[in-house]
Structure 1
Amino acid sequence: MYDTATFEDLLVEGASAPVDGWDFSWLQGRASEQRPSWGYLRLISARMAAARAALDIQTGGGEVLSEVPKLPPVTVATEHWPPNLRLARRTLEPRGVRVVDVAEDAPFPFPDESFDLVVSRHPNVVRWDEIARVLIPGGTYLAQQIGPGSNRELAQFFTGPRPIGDERSPERAAASARAAGLVVDELRHEALRTTFDDVAAVVYFLRKVIWAVPDFSVDRYRPRLADLHEHIRRHGPFVAHAQRVLVRAHKPQR
């Protein structure tokens, strides 16, 4: 098992595991992350059941949307990274979901006021102007976004101390939503304990979540990976904290 594997074995394991989509099940038994108290899937499932037309932005491989029990008559998802796009289409199209190739920072290729519900789990870029444009008056935006300095303990282990900007802060999200003409109904922020039980889990995570350490590669960071391996061997799992922000907003009636 991995707990008795050598450092080199663990590097090979983490570097060779497939990282398509947003399914993190490969980490089962070797990493864990506390779940937000609000239950994102439960929240969007309730909204989807009552919606007529819904848009899921940056769906990844469609992992979350595929778990919604009842989808609206019109359900559309966007994704751009080719491996995720292929996976999302295989997963979601059998359920009648149209999956559209849209870059994270690009305008949405949908008419004004097309959706009464827009959702997103962990969007990397939030186009507030486009969200407001495609929502019908009275429509809802509901998202679980990545908060400021998410897993910064892990990132700083590799890169050293670095400032934490406010571009992902709840306050910035609320201000951006209001600037786009939306009314913010709910805003919550939680720090969630995350543990990594071996260095293979760290390699896998950093290959998948590429913005955590943007220049990460096993070769570039081998000395720090060796330090981390020794830290885990001596002290137990490496602990970091994921930051999550829940945003619920609506477009006012005319």
Structure 2
Amino acid sequence: MTGKPSFAELVAEGAAVPTEGWDFSWFEGRASEARPSWGYARSAGERLARAEAALDVQTGGGEVLAFALDSAAPARPALIAATEGWAPNAAKATALLRPRGAVVVTAPDDAPLPFADEAFDLVLSRHPVTPHWAEIARVLRPGGTYFAQHVGPASVFELVEYFLGPQPASARGARDPERERAAAEAAGLEIVGLRAERLRMEFHDIAAVVHFLRKVVWMVPGFTVEAYEPQLRSLHERIEREGPFVAHSARHLVDARKPHPA
């Protein structure tokens, strides 16, 4: 009978998995995350079915937009565009979205959106690095909507603090939904709805931890197996002894509207 994979085998497996795109199917059976009750991709599809011109900001590998477009079919906007800042993701998104009638534009996440004023009646985004409210407001038509799922404050910080130690209050409070409400309103948008949830995550082996930290690079900046080998080995032994490592993700749903001029 074959025994359990060793620490070295699990770490090597987690380090070998490609990280392009936002397809998390590899984690099946190795890690889990509860999903928000609002069903973002399905709801985005309902919005797309009613839109004329839509933009997906920071689309990743295009997986979420592709699902939303498929759920909206046959009703789709006449114009569908997406932006992505990381070249490997942009290439993957282009291959996935072009057959669905969407154009993918490679654009840095922190740069102005490469589109004309009031070009879209719907702007979508799932887990943007930073929402650029002034740019979102600029490219929205009056009456248009920004509909997005954002990462919330102290998301997966149980794992972050395991590797980096206690984080300052400024880090724990970043991405606060009420601060984002204020920033959106300062850019001229009206918040129609704002919902937040914290959701249970479980990591069942150290391979899942390694792959997650390689894929979501801002969690532990500069993460490498070599740099964190002692912490990884200790966590592996803890999981083997006690069961899955539990953390909690934070998500909030933003529904904002650009008002018509007075």
TM tier, smaller:
over 0.9
TM-score by length of 2: 0.95
Deviations 1:180-200 (A, max 9, x none): 000001111110100000000
TM-score by length of 1: 0.98
CA distance 1:160–1:62, shift in 2 (3 Å): same
Match of 1:170 among 177, 183, 201: 177
Alignment check: 8 A CA contact 1:3 1:198 kept: no
Cα separation, 1, equivalents of 2:223 and 2:105: 29
2:198 is matched with: 191
Aligned length: 254
Match of 1:128 among 130, 133, 157: 133
Q: Following TM superposition, where does structure 1 have runs of at least 4 consecutive aligned residues deviating by more than 3 angstroms? A: none
Counterpart AA for 2:125: S
Cα separation, 2, equivalents of 1:253 and 1:43: 24
Name the SS of the counterpart of 2:49 in structure 1. helix
Counterpart AA for 2:161: Q
Instruction: Name the % identity.
Output: 56
2:20 is matched with: 20
Is residue 99 of structure 1 aligned with residue 104 of structure 2?
yes
1:37 is matched with: 37
2:81 is matched with: 76
Deviations 1:107-128 (A, max 9, x none): 0111100000000000002110
Counterpart AA for 1:17: V
Shift of 1:3: 8.2
Counterpart AA for 2:220: V
2:6 is matched with: 6
Is residue 149 of structure 1 aligned with residue 154 of structure 2?
yes
Is residue 49 of structure 1 aligned with residue 49 of structure 2?
yes
Counterpart AA for 2:45: S
Shift of 1:2: 10
Cα separation, 2, equivalents of 1:2 and 1:46: 48
Cα separation, 2, equivalents of 1:140 and 1:31: 34
Unaligned runs of 5+ in 1: none
Cα separation, 1, equivalents of 2:217 and 2:2: 24
Cα separation, 1, equivalents of 2:2 and 2:244: 13
1:86 is matched with: 91
Name the SS of the counterpart of 2:63 in structure 1. coil
Unaligned runs of 5+ in 2: none
